[in-house]
Amino acid sequence: MGIPLSPKSEQRGRKPPREAIERRALSVIESAQTLGIHRNSVYRLIEAGLLRYVRLAGGEIRVPVAAIDEYLAGGKTA
């Protein structure tokens, strides 16, 4: 859920604390831990087109939480 912002901080345009921001994407290692598999298996799922991902400007890979949910539900993610 997150910590609700006070109206004052919203008016001043301040960002909420990092822990208040809901994670929308996980690293490969975090994805592997969530799925209970090895990180290399996450890369294989990505290469096979079974798990959606986003590549950041620095080359890092992030897996959207929704993609993990879709994969676990057996839905098409590619």
Whole-angstrom Cα distance, residue 69 to residue 48?
17
Q: How many domains does the chain have?
A: 1
Q: Is residue 4 part of a domain?
A: no
pTM over 0.75: no
Whole-angstrom Cα distance, residue 14 to residue 7?
10
Whole-angstrom Cα distance, residue 64 to residue 72?
13
pLDDT digits over 11-55, tens only?
Answer: 556 665 555 556 799 999 999 999 999 999 999 999 999 999 999
Exposed, middle or buried, 31 (CB in 10 Å: 0-12/13-18/19+)?
A: buried
With contact defined as beta carbons under 8 Å apart, do 24 and 64 qualify?
Answer: yes
First to last CA, the chain: 28
Q: Is residue 10 part of a domain?
A: no
Q: By residue range, what is the domain housing residue 28?
A: 22-73
